[in-house]
Amino acid sequence: MPSGPPTVSRRRVLIGTAAVALLGTAAAGCGTPAPGPDIGALVAQLDRARTDSQMAAAVATTAPPPMAAALNTVASERTAHARALSDEITRVSGEAPPAMTTTPSTTTTSAGPIKPPAVADVIGALKASADSAGQAAAQRSGYQAGLLGSIAASCSAAGTVGLDGKQTP
Predicted TM-score of the model (pTM): 0.70
Using CA atoms, how far apart are residues 31 and 25, in angstroms rounded to an integer?
Answer: 10
Tell me the CATH number for domain 40-99+116-166: 1.20.1260
| Best mean pLDDT range from 32-41, 43-52, 60-69, 92-101 | 43-52
Using CA atoms, how far apart are residues 11 and 133, in angstroms rounded to an integer?
Answer: 60
Using CA atoms, how far apart are residues 7 and 44, in angstroms rounded to an integer?
Answer: 65
Cα atoms in the Cβ-side hemisphere of radius 13 Å centred on 141: 0
Domain boundaries, the chain: 40-99+116-166
**Three-state SS for 46?**
helix
**Three-state SS for 35?**
coil
pLDDT by residue (tens digit) across 107-156? 445 566 777 788 999 999 999 999 999 999 999 999 999 999 999 999 99
How sure is the predictor about 84, in pLDDT bands with cuts at 50, 70 and 90?
very high
